[in-house]
Amino acid sequence: MQSADNADSGNQLRVETNNPNLKGESFNWEMTEVLNNINIGFFSRDIIADKYINLSEGCPKIYGYTLDDFFANSKLWYDVIYPADKVVVEKEDAFLLNGQKCVSEYRIVHKDGSLRWLEVKAIPVIQDGVYVRVDGIVSDITDRKTAELEVIRAKELTEIIMNSLPGIFYLYNEQGEFIYWNQNLEIVTGYSTEEIFSLHPLDLFVQEDKELLAGNIVRVFEKGTSEVEARLLTKDGQEIPYYCNGRKVKIGDTVCLVGMGLDITERKKAAESLQKNEEMLSHILNSIPQSIFWKDKNSVFLGGNTVFAHGVGLKDVESIVGKTDFDLPCDLQEAHKYQKDDQEIMASGQPRIHYIETQQHADGEVFWIDTTKIPLKDSNNNVYGVLGIYDDITERKVEEERQKKVTADLIQKNIGLRQFSYIVSHNLRSPISKILGLASLFEKEDTNPINQELIEYLVNEVSNLDTVVKDLNTIVSCHDSGNQQIEQISLIDKMQLIQQALGDEIMQTGAQITWDFSQVEKLRSLRAYFYSIMFNLISNAIKYKHPDRPLKIHVESGLEADYIYISVKDNGLGIDLARYGTKIFGLYNRFHTGNIPGKGIGLNLVKTQAETLGGRVELESTVDEGTTFRVYLPKNE
């Protein structure tokens, strides 16, 4: 080796020996060859002179620098130390100053830029109490450190993974001695590391579940795997439902059980909630009077309610599952139709609402049903089946047929009655007219007082009969509006015509008539009927004015749903509805005493004409305060 004071000695390592059997130069050469061919460097450095005494060829291999580089810079060994690791060398110097041997590990920056791990064994030389030299060996331990770091990283990664698991992780041998577990086991149970080492796995579960667990542990070691649900018992006495699994593994010569446990508290709650919801849904479905079922894409029944099951002759809902319409007691043609409907609805993805079809029950009786079918879709909008709901409307259909027959009979009877009314009204008019004419002639020629009186009676009665026949003809004509045309009517024009027609009555009574047609100014209806309705209502208001106050009549229009209403309000005598309420619209009914003109058919005509137009009449009245009639007529837009 080259020294600071003997540069021509080359790179040979100078080693002193007292062995007389070895020549110094030969031994030096041999030792140099040994050290130069292993990845170890030897050094000897004069601390006082701050220079190398000896360096082996191993140093350039380790550092990447030449011996000349080292001899030229005695601080090179320090300069290449990784900055963060220089503190290690600084601590080492303190031990060397005290004459203590040191073994240290640190990183250097190799000349090629890579990081290398070194192990340095240094021996201080003390002379007369002074630290004068240090001798040592440098080894490149990069491979070993890399392997150690990989092991450490792998262990750290394993710890991170195990402690990041959502549940508890455990590893124990056949004797039930814990070998490894993750932090969650300590967190969940509340036991410390030392306490878990002293526990058997069964000690972590409630007494009632230990027998079940023990059997599953035995099954793992015999069969290789098992799983179980049991209640974990914490240190403070809490019981937590857990799902635990186990698998047999062999670590070295030791057979162990490795497994995980998951807290299933929420799953248990969800399962209980789901069960309650299913029970409630089942109760609701079985309480609904309609028949309900659902099928898969092949029209195979997946379920239904009790009403449906009983309707098709099955004892319970479970009996429906797996069957098709062809397994039920229905006509073969009906079964084909039902499945054809299913496939069309599922193919279109659109529901079919309230269509009427027939169904044959278990006893062979045919029923009418109102059916709705809806395609069932998953979260991706893919159709996976069909839901059916149907209602037995047989009674309704029977009632409809009965009503049709009754209506037809009523129409026929009404036609007959109307024809009879025409016959009566027309055929009686002629003889009545003749009787009146004869009575008139007889009155002029006969001077007998008795005959004269009889003829007056006869004339009066025949006149009354003539009036009745005319009124009957008027009422009958109200029901025969088929040939009349719907027209647009101006409310203001009609009110002005009615005021003209009732001019004398308005003047005699001093009636004040006002109106407000701001909401509805015009309507479409039968002109003659509308005029008759309004004329009779206003005429009645004038007839039954209160004697103690000026008469006020107010007419107003408005809209309500699909109707236009016209209200006629007065401050007249009013009507005792408690007494006459059921007779208001009867024929020839009068509700006030006194000499008030009229025959008692006006309100009957109002009601008949309003209903003929498709409307109705409502009434509010208070005795001595007044009356309000409200006539509702369809919009006819």
Q: Structurally, how many domains does the chain consist of?
A: 5
Residues 230 and 331 in one domain: no
Q: What is the dihedral of CA 410, 411, 413, 417, to 10 degrees?
A: 130
Instruction: Tell me if 323 is assigned to some domain.
Output: yes
Residues 183 and 240 in one domain: yes
Instruction: Tell me if 159 is assigned to some domain.
Output: no
Predicted pLDDT of residue 298 = 93
Residues 184 and 280 in one domain: no
Q: From CA 604, how far away is CA 585, in angstroms rounded?
A: 5
Instruction: Tell me if 312 is assigned to some domain.
Output: yes
Radius of gyration, CA atoms only, the chain: 59
Whichever domain contains 388, its CATH number is: 3.30.450.20
Residues 404 and 511 in one domain: no
Instruction: Tell me if 153 is assigned to some domain.
Output: no
Q: Which amino acid is at 26?
A: S
The token pair at 583 is 């007779």
- Sign of the four-CA dihedral 67, 68, 73, 76: negative
For residue 115, give its domain range.
7-143
Residues 308 and 371 in one domain: yes
Residues 36 and 131 in one domain: yes
Predicted pLDDT of residue 447 = 60
Domain final position from 478, 496, 527? 478
pTM over 0.75: no
Instruction: Tell me if 16 is assigned to some domain.
Output: yes
Residues 382 and 275 in one domain: yes
Residues 623 and 523 in one domain: yes
The count of other CB atoms within 10 Å of the CB of residue 223 is 10
Domain final position from 223, 247, 263? 263
Three-state secondary-structure class, residue 40 = strand
Residues 451 and 546 in one domain: no
User: What does the pLDDT look like over 178-195, one tens digit per residue?
Assistant: 999 999 999 999 999 999
> Which residues in the chain come in under a pLDDT of 70?
1-38, 158, 361-364, 407-484, 581, 586-600
Predicted pLDDT of residue 14 = 38
